[in-house]
């Protein structure tokens, strides 16, 4: 499979983020092995890469061991939306923990550099705002979101223990809300929900009073951040926040989606789900300083691309 570039493994490579990462790696000249069990990923996301001489697809679940020749490993394997990760919480925890263990063992055997795609959910419902990497978080260990929150926290622990115990070359990034083309229509993430409801002329559902905030990073910016983190100096392991520090309320987001989509839908309010964070905004000073990275795509431009993607799906 080697053609001159790095041999790079992407787990969860047929998912939303993974497929965009595979695209970027192929563009830069890597040999890419995409591993996915198609629990939430889809072949449609990687259709343009199938048959490419530097791209290979392996259907495999990371909860089982894997042994392949690689130089770089991006671990993106895990459902990332509440709808999907709460559907089978035990499976989600197994993916986070056993998946991390199996891929760390592979990285140790091959002396490969490995990156863990962690999440802003490790901060829980934060008491510190914005959230810096030094903040340990406030997470409910027995709530409905815990399979994902605590699973990712455990994966981070494993990564740093492998670094301390085995000298493994690791990178850990904490991804804040990312959006863009190839999002799953029914995954429950707020931008996808708002856009699809608006395009269908349905009521746009805002949970709580809409004052809770999020910060949204366009997928192209996030992929640039992942690549920068993977190629950062060997002494830098992270964790490092990757996200857009521009914060807005859910009410403001709904209004913006309605305006950009030209929809006449109305906003309706529903009760706030349990353990839903009230605020979320990354402190990205470390990423700016260490990786030379910051997001560049404006929310209006990113939403425009995402609305166009979902509109094409609905028309099809």
Instruction: Please identify which residue in the block is written with the tokens 């349905």.
Output: 202
Whole-number Cα distances in Å, 208 to 112, 146, 157, 255, 270: 45, 21, 33, 15, 6
Instruction: Please identify which residue in the block is written with the tokens 């072949």.
Output: 43
Residue 223's H or E segment, with its range, is helix 219-230
123 among known catalytic residues:
no
Asked whether the CA dihedral 110, 112, 116, 117 is positive or negative, the reply is negative
- What is the C-alpha to C-alpha distance for residues 166 and 131, in angstroms, rounded to an integer? 30
**Residue 170: which of 180, 154, 159 has the closest Cα?**
159
Whole-number Cα distances in Å, 70 to 67, 155, 218, 268, 300: 9, 21, 28, 49, 38
CB distance 209 to 269 below 8 Å = yes
Annotated active-site residue in 148, 162, 179, 218:
148
- What is the C-alpha to C-alpha distance for residues 195 and 197, in angstroms, rounded to an integer? 6
For residue 10, list its beta bridge partners.
34, 74
Task: Spell out a b/e string for 202-224, using b for 16 or more CB atoms within 10 Å of the CB, else e.
Answer: eebbbeeebebbbbbbbbbbbbb
Which residues are known to be catalytic? 148
């Amino acid at each position: 499979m080697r053609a001159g570039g790095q041999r790079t493994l992407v787990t969860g490579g047929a998912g939303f983020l993974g497929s965009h990462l595979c695209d970027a790696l192929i563009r830069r000249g890597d040999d890419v092995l995409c591993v996915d069990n198609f629990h939430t990923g889809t072949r449609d996301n990687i259709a343009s890469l199938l048959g490419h001489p530097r791209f290979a697809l392996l259907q495999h679940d990371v909860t089982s061991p894997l042994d392949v020749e690689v130089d770089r490993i991006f671990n993106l394997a895990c459902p990332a939306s509440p709808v999907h990760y709460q559907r089978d919480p035990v499976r989600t925890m197994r993916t986070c923990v056993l998946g991390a263990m199996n891929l760390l063992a592979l990285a140790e055997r091959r002396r490969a550099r490995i990156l863990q795609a962690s999440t802003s959910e490790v901060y829980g419902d934060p008491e510190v705002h914005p959230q810096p990497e030094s903040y340990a978080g406030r997470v409910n260990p027995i709530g409905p979101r815990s399979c994902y929150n605590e699973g990712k926290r455990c994966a981070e622990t494993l990564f740093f223990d492998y670094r301390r115990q085995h000298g493994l070359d690791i990178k850990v990034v904490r991804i804040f809300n990312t959006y863009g083309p190839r999002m799953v229509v029914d995954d429950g993430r707020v931008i996808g929900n708002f856009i699809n409801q608006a395009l269908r002329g349905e009521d746009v559902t805002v949970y709580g009073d809409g004052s809770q905030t999020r910060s949204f990073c366009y997928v192209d910016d996030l992929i640039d951040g992942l690549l920068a983190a993977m190629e950062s100096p060997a002494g830098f392991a992270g964790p490092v926040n990757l996200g857009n520090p521009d914060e807005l309320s859910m009410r403001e987001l709904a209004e913006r989606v309605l305006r950009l989509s030209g929809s006449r839908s109305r906003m309706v309010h529903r009760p706030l789900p349990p353990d839903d964070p009230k605020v979320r905004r990354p402190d990205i000073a470390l990423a700016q300083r260490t990786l030379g990275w910051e997001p560049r795509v404006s929310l209006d431009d990113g939403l425009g691309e995402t609305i166009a993607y979902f509109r094409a799906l609905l028309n099809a």
